[in-house]
Amino acid sequence: MRTITATVPVNEPVDEPGRTEQVRLDRDEVWAGLLDKAQNAVPYVPGMQECTVVERGPEGLVREVVIHGERVREEVTFHPKRRVTFSRDDERATWLIHNDIGEDETGLTLTFSATMDLAEGEEGDHQAERVREGYLEALRTTLARTRENVAAGRALITR
């Protein structure tokens, strides 16, 4: 099992020269974006072709996704306004993925961390880097889509 992490700032620094003004997101808006991603990850996650919620409960949901051609069942657990956890444990693979809303000295952050079965050695290193790059893209896409929804005044999911 390997652990892979990546963190991005939620909002770009406002005093950065040449930076155009962006919609600044607060914790509630980022949370709403993560909930939207949990319910339909296709627009957010590279390589995901399908995402269907098959069960809903007070703590989260169960979904079936097709990612890179493989059908996977994931349990999704909500930790309100701070973390969404995606878990898979079947005969083919095991993973535990967290999307965390945090804060550092620059403001809000969004962190992806995953513990998953990967090959050992150099092959595993390459796999880990591909996963990390894919999730960095997913984090950025999540924030961009959330900004678009906020700017357009679209209703945001809060549970």
For each of the chain's 159 residues, which pLDDT tens digit applies?
888 899 999 998 766 555 556 789 999 999 999 999 999 999 888 889 999 999 999 999 999 999 889 999 999 999 999 999 999 888 877 889 999 999 999 899 999 998 887 778 888 788 888 888 888 888 899 999 999 989 888 766 655
Q: Which domains does the chain show, CATH number per domain? A: 2-11+24-151 (3.30.530.20)
Q: What is the CA radius of gyration of the chain?
A: 16
Given a contact cutoff of 8 angstroms between Cβ atoms, the answer to whether 96 and 87 are in contact is: yes
Q: What integer pLDDT is reported at residue 92 of this predicted model?
A: 79
> Measuring CA to CA, which residue among 93, 77, 138 is closest to residue 112?
138
- Give the global pTM: 0.86
Q: What integer pLDDT is reported at residue 18 of this predicted model?
A: 56
Q: What integer pLDDT is reported at residue 101 of this predicted model?
A: 98
Q: What integer pLDDT is reported at residue 129 of this predicted model?
A: 86
Q: What integer pLDDT is reported at residue 17 of this predicted model?
A: 57
For the chain, give the secondary structure using H, E and C.
Answer: CEEEEEEEECCCCCCCCCCCCCCCCCHHHHHHHHHHHHHCCCCCCCCEEEEEEEEEECCEEEEEEEECCEEEEEEEEEECCCEEEEEEECCCCEEEEEEEEEEECCEEEEEEEEEECCCCHHHHHHHHHHHHHHHHHHHHHHHHHHHHHHHCCCCCCCC
Q: What integer pLDDT is reported at residue 90 of this predicted model?
A: 82
Q: What integer pLDDT is reported at residue 89 of this predicted model?
A: 85
Q: Is 110 exposed, middle or buried (0-12, 13-18, 19+ CB in 10 A)?
A: buried
80 C-beta neighbours (distance < 10 Å), count: 11
Q: What integer pLDDT is reported at residue 135 of this predicted model?
A: 84
Ramachandran assignment for 134, one of left (phi > 0), alpha (psi -120 to 50 degrees), beta (any other): alpha
| Gap between the Cα atoms of 35 and 97, Å rounded | 15
